[in-house]
């Protein structure tokens, strides 16, 4: 078999495969034998009609669909591997022909990985803002420690369900519904009334006070309405904070040792998030300057909704889509991000995290070595590591559907 890329543009490849007569006959013979046993033709015993006679009765090329399917099935994967082509759609048959000697030429078309064009990448890297001069104030250190300590106390508190209306200090669980382009909300969420919260600022928490289980409030009261329904209310009794509490729960002999550990941990987590959020900021700047071209074949499949990754992604979100176009747009935004992550990872610029979806990225040129991270912390190794690889940045999309979708079953008899 000979193989040749005839055309490659707009993330679409046309691939020519040529088979000599011997290669064709090697596949055709067993296929026709299976036909012989199913053909009922007057004047011939079952299983004894010749190929030439079958062609005269059934028409020239009656076996071509199954023949092409088998040839592609047996040879396409190896051809793609040798040419280093990754396909992202079904292989579509563009044309095929036999010459006078029985040699076969066929042409396939399929989508490949999107084309990525970044405008002024070197300048974007040059202008990126690092964190080398970042300094943590004593006031911030104290706040981080206090928040960390309070969080542990709440986590280890005794919690009892109550049917009384919400009041300050309650642990409230809510179910969030709706869609906003500005912020993604979790479907189920819990918060402490009166505590700082990224999803429920003070003015929204005040709406919850006095409400009961089953009541709803609007988080964003506009055309993109986000509502929160109260599903559980609990009273919290915090444990007494002393050396006995620290020893029983964390195995520290003294409060001083425990608080030093807690301070280091809180500071390190803050800096880790800062590094990743800064990397995310730089990544989004690059994304804005990036053109990503998807093959029309790939877009056609996405619009048909046949991609299992698309269905899985959309089912896992708490978003409501008004149309197929909205779903396609959301999925392509997701894919554009992942494709750029892969590209920047391959050229050694980005370290994706090991989360299920890439949420934070660290540009390698943004050094963290000057940051005063606690030496014993595992998170320091995590931030500085250049070997962090995302375990599943992007799944391969779609599988080859080998040309013939409605293959006749072998048990079926063909009447001429």
What are the structure tokens assigned to 22, written together? 């011997």
**Residue 198 and residue 219 in contact, taking contact as beta carbons nearer than 8 Å:** no
> Do 297 and 114 meet the contact criterion of CB atoms below 8 Å apart?
no
pLDDT, one tens digit per residue, over 6-59 is 888 888 999 999 999 999 989 988 888 877 777 777 777 776 777 777 777 777
pLDDT over threshold 80, residue 79 = yes
To the nearest whole number, what is the mean pLDDT of the chain? 76
Q: How far is residue 211's CA from residue 174's CA, in Å, rounded to a whole number?
A: 12
- Give the pLDDT confidence score for residue 320 in this predicted structure: 64
Contact 139, 163 (CB under 8 A): no
| pLDDT tens-place string over residues 85-122 | 888 888 888 999 999 898 999 999 988 888 888 888 77
How far apart CA 185 and CA 24 sit, in angstroms, is 57
Interatomic CA distance for residues 238 and 157, integer angstroms: 4
**Size (the chain), residues:** 416
Q: Taking the CA of residue 48 as centre, how many other CA atoms within 13 Å lie in the half-sphere pointing to its CB?
A: 5
User: Would you state the torsion angle of the CA atoms of residues 82, 85, 89, 94, taken in this order, to the nearest 10 degrees?
Assistant: -70
To which H or E segment does residue 13 belong?
strand 12-19
pLDDT at 330 over 60: yes
Quote the pTM value. Answer: 0.59
Around Cβ 400, how many Cβ atoms within 10 Å?
16
Burial degree of 253 (CB within 10 A; 0-12, 13-18, 19+): exposed
Give 243's pLDDT tier (boundaries 50, 70, 90).
very high
pLDDT at 383 over 90: no
Q: What is the DSSP letter of 238?
A: P
Q: Which CA distances in Å does 166 have to 16, 254, 262?
A: 69, 37, 31
- Out of 45-59, 290-304, 402-416, least confident range: 402-416
What is residue 184's DSSP assignment?
P
Residue labelled with tokens 């034998």: 33
CA–CA gap between residue 281 and residue 362 (Å, rounded): 10
The span from the CA of 131 to the CA of 116, in Å, is: 28
Residue 366 has pLDDT above 80, yes or no: no
Structural domains in the chain? Answer: 2-112+401-415 (3.30.70.1050), 118-135+255-384 (no CATH), 158-237 (3.10.50.30)
Q: Which pLDDT tens digit goes with each residue over 246-295? A: 999 988 989 999 999 999 999 888 887 787 777 778 888 888 889 999 89
Neighbours of 380 (CB within 10 A): 18
Confidence of residue 174 (pLDDT cuts 50, 70, 90): very high
Whole-number pLDDT of residue 180: 54
Q: Check: CB of residue 387 under 8 Å from CB of residue 163.
A: no
């Amino acid at each position: 078999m000979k193989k040749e890329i005839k055309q490659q543009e707009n993330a679409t490849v046309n691939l020519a495969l040529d088979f000599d007569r011997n290669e064709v006959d090697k596949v055709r013979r067993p296929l026709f034998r299976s036909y012989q046993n199913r053909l009922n033709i007057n004047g011939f015993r079952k299983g004894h009609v010749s190929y030439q006679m079958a062609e005269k009765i059934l028409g020239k090329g009656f076996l071509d669909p199954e023949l092409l399917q088998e040839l592609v099935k047996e040879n396409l994967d190896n051809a793609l591997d040798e040419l280093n082509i990754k396909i992202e759609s079904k292989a579509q048959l563009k044309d095929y022909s036999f010459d006078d000697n029985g040699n076969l030429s066929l042409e396939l078309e399929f989508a490949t990985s999107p084309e990525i064009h970044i405008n002024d990448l070197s300048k974007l890297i040059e202008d990126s803002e690092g964190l080398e001069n970042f300094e943590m104030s004593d006031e911030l250190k104290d706040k981080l420690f206090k928040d960390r300590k309070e969080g542990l106390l709440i986590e280890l508190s005794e919690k009892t369900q109550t049917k009384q209306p919400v009041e300050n200090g309650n642990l409230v669980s809510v179910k969030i519904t709706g869609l906003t382009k500005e912020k993604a909300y979790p479907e189920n969420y819990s918060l402490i009334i009166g505590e700082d919260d990224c999803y429920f600022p003070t003015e929204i928490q005040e709406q919850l006070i006095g409400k009961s289980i089953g009541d709803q409030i609007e988080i964003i009261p506009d055309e993109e309405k986000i509502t929160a329904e109260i599903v559980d209310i609990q009273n919290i009794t915090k444990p007494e904070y002393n050396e006995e509490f620290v020893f029983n729960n964390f195995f520290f002999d003294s409060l001083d040792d425990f608080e030093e550990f807690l301070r280091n941990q809180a500071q390190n987590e803050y800096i880790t998030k800062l590094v990743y959020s800064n990397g995310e900021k730089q990544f989004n700047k690059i994304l804005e300057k990036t053109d990503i071209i998807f093959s029309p074949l790939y877009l056609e499949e996405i619009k048909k909704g046949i991609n299992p990754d698309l269905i899985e992604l959309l089912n896992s979100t708490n978003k409501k889509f008004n149309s197929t176009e909205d779903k396609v747009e959301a999925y392509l935004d997701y894919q554009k991000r992942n494709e750029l992550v892969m590209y920047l990872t391959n050229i050694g610029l980005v370290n994706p995290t090991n989360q299920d979806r890439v949420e934070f990225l660290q540009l390698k040129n943004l050094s963290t070595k000057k940051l005063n991270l606690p030496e014993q912390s595992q998170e320091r190794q995590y931030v500085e590591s250049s070997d962090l690889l995302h375990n599943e940045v992007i799944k391969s999309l779609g599988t080859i559907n080998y040309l013939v979708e409605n293959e006749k079953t072998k048990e079926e008899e063909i009447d001429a």
